[in-house]
Amino acid sequence: MSALPGLERRIADLGSAVVAFSGGVDSSVVAAVAARALGGRALAVTAVSPALATGELDGARDVARAIGIAHETITTAELAREGYRVNGPDRCYHCKSELYERLGELAARRGFAALLSGANADDEGDWRPGLRAASEHGVVHPLLEVGLGKDGVRALARSLGVPSAGKAASPCLASRLPYGTPVEPEALARVDRAELALKALGYRELRVRHHGPLGRVELAAGELPRALAADGRAGIVAAVRAAGYERVEIDPEPFRSGSLNAVFLGRLGAR
């Protein structure tokens, strides 16, 4: 709890704020502290687009209700941006530029003084072009400023009673497409259908990586034995094929968040 007073002071000093709010643990902690520090002068806003996985908006609404912060949605059009659609390593820069432009317009129109994100201290060690977009739009990162990494954020979330304290990371659906694969609505929808089908089978922490006609399934270590057994494999293959993939592979290695970034960063290191 030692980080909480500093977070509250930092956010209170802003006077009023809009929180870029996905409903994940990071943005939920920022929103919860903003609600404590600013009361009705804090607003959580969730961006809705084809890249938002089914169920995420409902989850965000539930969290906002539980922590007592006003919540609204906006529609973003990142797919209208060429830099986003071509899906280069800077895709997130174009996505976040769209997000922060729309949030900035809302904040200016409604008289909010600042934009807040849920970026944490661990994000500085990853490939995060979205942080450049945030810098260009004057976004404040309270968790990063006080040095809280993911473990600390989860601990603070539990102490504050934030419902998403244990929620697995759920980045936008475009993160399932390898860099260089164009981001198209049909591809996003196919990934979404496949992941929903796997969740219906009882799997919880997963990704379906989109490789054209191939859907490559990544699962948490604890779920792999069931998935790799004959019955489990058959169920996964049927579910992912029904979502629109011609071929299905199950990665024998456990799911690791940011694995596509790791490949990219590894290539940078090799150079």
Position 109 pLDDT exceeds 70: yes
Q: How far apart are CA 114 and CA 111, in angstroms?
A: 9
How many alpha carbons fall within 13 Å on the CB side of residue 71? 23
Q: State the pLDDT at residue 271.
A: 41
pLDDT at 268: 42
Where does the chain hold its CATH 3.30.70.2210 domain(s)?
A: 184-270
Query: Contact 153/120 with Cβ under 8 angstroms?
Result: yes
Question: Which helix (H) or strand (E) is 141 found in, with range?
Answer: none
Token readout for 230 is 């004959």
Going by pLDDT thresholds of 50, 70 and 90, the confidence category of residue 266 is: very low
The pTM is what?
0.91
13-36 burial, b if ≥16 CB within 10 A, otherwise e?
A: ebebbbbbbbbbbbbbbbbbbbbb
C-alpha to C-alpha distance for 215 and 237, rounded to whole angstroms: 9
DSSP bridge pairs for 48: 75
Cα distances from 27 to residues 32, 63, 148, in angstroms, run 8, 10, 13
Residue 269 has pLDDT above 80, yes or no: no
From 24-33, 40-49, 238-247, 250-259, the region with the lowest mean pLDDT: 250-259
Q: Is the pLDDT of residue 1 over 60?
A: no
Q: Which long-range contacts (CB under 8 A, 24 or more apart) does 186-192 make?
A: 188/50, 188/51, 189/50, 190/215, 190/243, 190/244, 190/245, 191/215, 192/53, 192/54
> pLDDT grade, residue 255 (50/70/90)?
very high
Q: Can you give the pLDDT at residue 125?
A: 65
Mean pLDDT value across residues 38-42: 97
User: Residues 23-43: what's their mean pLDDT?
Assistant: 98
What is the predicted pLDDT for the residue at 128? 84
Residue-level pLDDT at 123: 87
For residue 264, the model assigns a pLDDT of 43
Express each pLDDT in 127-184 by its tens digit: 688 999 999 999 999 999 999 999 999 999 999 999 999 998 889 999 999 999 999 9
Across 67-95, average pLDDT: 97
What are the start and end residues of each CATH 3.40.50.620 domain in the chain? 3-160
To the nearest whole number, what is the mean pLDDT of the chain?
93
- Alpha-carbon Rg for the chain, nearest whole angstrom, is 19
Distance separating alpha carbons of residues 189 and 103, to the nearest angstrom? 25
DSSP 8-class letter at 255? P
> For 3-160, CATH number?
3.40.50.620
The CATH number that domain 184-270 falls under is: 3.30.70.2210
